[in-house]
């Protein structure tokens, strides 16, 4: 399937993709496959035996990958493919793509037939009084036996979709009827003609909706579902053979482990942008809407923002490189192809033909430039908790970003060091480092960042295949911050986040608070297939392979693989009763252990760790919000386990009403501002924040979210306990 997201930054890093050719040439596919499988066998940390057993697993994995919802193939189809179940390994050696070709041709045939199926089913009304149910979980129902079973499966899927849409329309109708019964609001003396007209249109919409019968609403529901499926089908038709080929390759890569992946050149470029938090381009985000490409947001300070001629909701019709004479019509083009047309190096120009919201068409000449993705970068604030503790520094690190492409390169470790310096200048009494939802990134940066808090010493052990582990150390004896430290993690803190949290925990340097982390204890490297493959220049670029070559271990010898990092003080969340993270992945690598290293530090040691935990647990036990969070975890598990749904309207409405009531019980847990929690920007940051309205608004949203964060509130109280126990500040702290 297509890995490129429907929402992308337009930019470029270091090379043009104009020469990238869709690899539909069987000879090119063979070169790529041979390279990928050869590298996996030679360099993967835990290589698989490519034999009949591997073939059987790969066969099942691929079919489940391309038809994960089990909507296209039938058991009769699988009977045609069964003969290849133990032959895939042999076809690797022969350079044959017979199974891949037959499976994808069969899939294309089945997908081609889907349009007629859903159009026919949606052409007739559904009876929502019949007692029947729809099973969502594809693994529970398997593939349909035959064409008849497949049609019945599609009928139930579409009936459920229409039922959901109909229920929503009935709810909207009831609200419209209520508004009409209440009558119009008082007129505003300052009301403009535009506002008056908008009110009249809204009133007419309410009248039209309120007057409809349930039969008419059901017709509208089917029409909306048909529109959605037509859009889905059109996007599915844009899937190329190369997309399927990459899925095929990644089926086998994922048999080794879930983090080894083949990346075509375009995907590798997007990965680098995500890792570096910066790009070169025009500074806009795009989305496909039908056959058109729409501007959905503009990056403040970027070329488009400075140009002022392009606005959100404008459409791009054509693209022309400044030096070319002819424009490329992008109507109906895939979003990744549009991006490759527009991306380019800093200082180069691209001319976009833009359709404005009023229908006018203009050509806009844009000079590409470097754009920083500010949402990715480290930022800090100062927090007070009234009556408890004041002047605590807070650092938010969304990811371990890093790029080393000259003077404009980024480093999260360097940025966090800058934030620490600013916080120390404001005489903070402690620092909270927030790594929640941080999926990791640069290994070098996590080592450097850990070194900001200790004198020197080992941070992580990295073990290659069949070799002794390397020890990554902080060699710098300087300590950028020597005070009380709390590290916040959750279920989505992974990889580099886990390395830092584990090191701070092992060194007794920080209290780790939150929930069990993700559990990714493996290290990946990119291997450029162009360099790995000798000759075959006519097929290049070939892409790159992200390969799991190492596992990392804590300084105490334990691995974070599967187990993650257990917080010193646990906070309840909605995922507490279900498996999330690495444990969810098939073929995840096993947990293992090495010998511990000698390590110590004499900067700041957490006092009375067990006492801190007991105090927090006592507070949580008497907190209504934390009790509700624990309860929500149970409810979330029950909701996740429910996979079968009634197709009767009355029963569906009753279920949704019950679900809404339960959901409302929890929605305000993190929804209300905490009156005693006060967050403010650092004085040094105010000028940059007021750069433009978008940056100011983004900052305000960030501060408001923190102000509702009960996890942050409890972390502040834990910080109070730490400081009290070591008499870190001279003035007394209120209990």
pLDDT in tens, 383-408: 999 999 999 999 999 889 887 554 55
Give 713 or 325, the one with higher predicted confidence. 713
Q: Average model confidence (pLDDT) for the chain?
A: 87
Domain co-membership, 126 together with 172: yes
Nearest to 446 by CA among 562, 527, 565: 565
Asked whether residue 273 is assigned to any structural domain, the reply reads no
For residue 645, pLDDT beyond 50:
yes
In three state form, how does the secondary structure of 699-734 look? HHHHHHHHHCCHHHHHHHHHHHHHHHHHCCCCCCCC
Asked whether residue 330 is assigned to any structural domain, the reply reads yes
- Listing DSSP states for 257-316 in one string gives -TT-EEE-HHHHHHHHHHHHTEEEEEEEEEEEETTEEEEEEE-TTSHHHHH-S--TT-EE
Nearest to 327 by CA among 315, 316, 311, 313: 316
201 prior amide bond cis, ω within 30: no
Q: How do strand 569-570 and strand 470-474 relate by DSSP bridges?
A: unpaired
Could you give the CA distance from residue 341 to residue 538 in angstroms, rounded to a whole number?
22
For residue 182, pLDDT beyond 50:
yes
CB count in 10 Å sphere of residue 545: 28
Domain co-membership, 542 together with 659: yes
CB 548, CB 523: distance < 8 Å: yes
pLDDT in tens, 536-582: 989 988 999 999 999 999 999 999 999 999 999 999 988 877 878 89
Domain co-membership, 62 together with 172: yes
For residue 3, pLDDT beyond 60:
no
Select from 311, 344, 372 the last residue of a domain. 372
Domain co-membership, 337 together with 390: no
For residue 363, pLDDT beyond 50:
yes
Residue 335 sits in a domain whose CATH number is 2.30.42.10
Domain co-membership, 213 together with 112: yes
What's the chain's Rg over C-alpha atoms? 29
Query: What local confidence, expressed as pLDDT, does residue 1 receive?
Result: 31
Mean pLDDT of 600-625: 94
The percent of residues in the chain predicted with pLDDT above 70, rounded, is 90
Buried b / exposed e over 143-158, threshold 16 CB at 10 Å, is: bbeeeeebeebbbbbb
Q: How do strand 431-434 and strand 389-396 relate by DSSP bridges?
A: parallel
Domain co-membership, 453 together with 305: no
Domain co-membership, 389 together with 507: yes
CB 286, CB 30: distance < 8 Å: no
Nearest to 364 by CA among 447, 298, 462: 298
Domain tally for the chain?
3
Query: What local confidence, expressed as pLDDT, does residue 320 receive?
Result: 87
CB 527, CB 544: distance < 8 Å: yes
Could you give the CA distance from residue 503 to residue 486 in angstroms, rounded to a whole number?
13
Taking the whole predicted model, whether its pTM rises above 0.85 is answered as: no
Could you give the CA distance from residue 556 to residue 558 in angstroms, rounded to a whole number?
6
CB 256, CB 548: distance < 8 Å: yes
CB 89, CB 41: distance < 8 Å: no
Nearest to 631 by CA among 704, 572, 549: 572
Domain co-membership, 200 together with 335: no
Domain co-membership, 496 together with 460: yes
C-alpha distance across the termini of the chain, in Å: 56
Asked whether residue 621 is assigned to any structural domain, the reply reads yes
pLDDT in tens, 61-106: 999 989 989 999 999 999 999 999 999 999 988 889 999 999 999 9
Could you give the CA distance from residue 412 to residue 399 in angstroms, rounded to a whole number?
8
CA 95 to each of CA 211, 240, 632: distance values in angstroms, whole numbers, following the listed order: 65, 21, 52
CB 519, CB 491: distance < 8 Å: no
Give the SS3 label for residue 469: coil
Residue 327 DSSP label? P
Could you give the CA distance from residue 223 to residue 233 in angstroms, rounded to a whole number?
15
Domain of residue 61, residue span: 47-256
Positions of E strands within 374-449:
379-385, 389-396, 402-403, 410-411, 431-434
Domain co-membership, 183 together with 307: no
For residue 460, pLDDT beyond 90:
yes
Asked whether residue 6 is assigned to any structural domain, the reply reads no
Select from 352, 372, 392 the last residue of a domain. 372
For 447, left (φ over 0), alpha (ψ -120 to 50), or beta?
Answer: alpha
Give the SS3 label for residue 547: strand
- Geometric angle at alpha carbon 561, from 557 and 563, rounded to 5°: 90
pLDDT in tens, 213-264: 999 999 999 999 999 899 888 888 888 888 899 989 999 999 999 999 998 8
pLDDT in tens, 472-524: 999 989 999 999 999 999 999 999 999 999 999 999 999 999 999 999 999 99
Asked whether residue 23 is assigned to any structural domain, the reply reads no
Give the SS3 label for residue 234: helix
Q: How do strand 569-570 and strand 511-514 relate by DSSP bridges?
A: parallel
Mean pLDDT of 437-454: 93
Could you give the CA distance from residue 611 to residue 617 in angstroms, rounded to a whole number?
10
Domain co-membership, 533 together with 468: yes
């Amino acid at each position: 399937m297509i890995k490129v997201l429907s929402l992308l930054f337009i930019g470029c890093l270091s090379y043009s993709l104009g020469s990238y050719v869709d690899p539909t040439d069987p000879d090119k596919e063979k070169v790529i496959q041979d390279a990928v499988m050869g590298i996996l066998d030679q360099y993967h940390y835990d290589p698989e035996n490519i034999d009949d057993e591997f073939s059987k697993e790969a066969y099942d994995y691929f079919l489940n990958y391309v038809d994960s919802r089990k909507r296209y193939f039938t058991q009769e189809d699988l009977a045609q493919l069964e003969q290849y179940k133990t032959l895939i390994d042999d076809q690797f050696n022969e350079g044959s793509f017979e199974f891949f070709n037959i499976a994808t041709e069969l899939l294309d045939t089945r997908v081609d037939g889907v349009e007629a199926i859903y159009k026919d089913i949606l052409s007739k009304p559904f009876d929502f009084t019949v007692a029947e149910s729809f099973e969502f979980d594809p693994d529970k129902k398997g593939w349909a036996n035959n064409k008849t079973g497949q049609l019945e499966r599609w009928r139930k899927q579409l009936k459920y979709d229409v039922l959901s849409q109909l229920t929503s329309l009935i709810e909207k109708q009831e609200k419209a009827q209520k508004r009409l019964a209440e009558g119009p609001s008082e007129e505003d003396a300052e009301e403009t003609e535009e506002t008056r007209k908008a009110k009249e249109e809204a009133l007419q919409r309410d009248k039209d909706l309120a007057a409809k019968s349930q039969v008419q609403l059901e017709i509208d529901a089917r029409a909306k579902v048909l529109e959605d499926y037509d859009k889905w089908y059109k996007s599915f038709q844009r899937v190329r053979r190369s997309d399927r080929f990459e899925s095929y390759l990644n089926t086998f890569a994922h048999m080794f482990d879930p983090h080894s992946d083949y990346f075509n050149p375009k995907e590798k470029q997007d990965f680098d942008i995500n890792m570096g938090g910066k790009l070169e381009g025009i500074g806009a985000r795009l989305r496909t809407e039908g056959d058109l490409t729409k501007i959905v947001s503009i990056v403040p300070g970027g070329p488009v923002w400075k140009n002022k001629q392009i606005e959100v909701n404008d459409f791009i019709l054509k693209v022309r490189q400044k030096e070319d004479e002819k424009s490329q019509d992008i109507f109906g083009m895939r979003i990744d192809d549009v991006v490759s047309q527009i991306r380019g190096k800093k200082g180069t120009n691209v001319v976009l033909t833009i359709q404005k919201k009023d229908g006018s068409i203009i050509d806009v000449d844009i000079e590409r430039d470097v754009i920083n993705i500010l949402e990715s970068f480290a930022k800090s604030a100062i927090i007070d908790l009234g009556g408890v503790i004041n002047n605590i520094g807070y650092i938010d690190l969304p990811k371990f970003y890093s790029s080393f492409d000259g003077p404009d390169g980024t480093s999260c470790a360097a940025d966090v060091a800058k934030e620490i310096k600013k916080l120390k200048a404001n005489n903070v009494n402690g620092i909270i480092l927030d790594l929640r939802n941080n999926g990791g990134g640069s290994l070098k940066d996590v080592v450097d960042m850990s070194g900001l808090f200790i004198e020197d010493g080992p941070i992580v052990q990295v073990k290659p295949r069949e070799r002794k582990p390397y020890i990554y150390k902080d060699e710098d004896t300087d300590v950028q911050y020597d005070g009380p430290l709390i590290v916040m993690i959750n279920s989505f803190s992974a990889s580099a986040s886990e390395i830092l949290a584990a090191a701070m925990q092992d060194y007794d340097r920080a209290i780790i608070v939150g929930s069990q982390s993700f559990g990714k204890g493996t290290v990946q490297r990119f291997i450029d297939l162009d360099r790995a493959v000798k000759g075959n220049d006519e097929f290049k670029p070939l892409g790159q392979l992200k390969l799991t070559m190492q596992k990392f271990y804590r300084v105490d010898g334990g691995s974070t693989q599967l187990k993650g990092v257990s917080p010193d003080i646990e906070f309840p969340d909605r995922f507490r009763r279900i498996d999330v993270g690495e444990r969810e992945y098939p073929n995840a690598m096993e947990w293992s252990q090495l010998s511990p290293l000698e390590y110590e530090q004499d900067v700041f040691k957490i006092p009375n760790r067990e006492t801190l935990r007991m105090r927090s647990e006592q507070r949580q036990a008497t907190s209504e919000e934390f009790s509700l969070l624990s309860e929500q975890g149970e409810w979330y598990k029950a909701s996740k386990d429910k996979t079968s749904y009634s197709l009767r309207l009355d029963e569906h409405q009753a279920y949704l009403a019950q679900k809404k009531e339960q959901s409302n019980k929890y929605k305000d847990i993190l929804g209300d501002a905490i009156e005693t929690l006060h967050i403010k920007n650092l004085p040094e940051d105010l000028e940059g924040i007021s750069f433009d309205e978008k940056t100011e608004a983004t900052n305000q949203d960030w501060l408001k979210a923190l102000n509702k964060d009960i996890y942050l509130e409890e972390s502040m109280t834990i910080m109070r306990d730490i400081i009290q126990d070591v008499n870190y500040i001279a003035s007394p702290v209120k209990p």
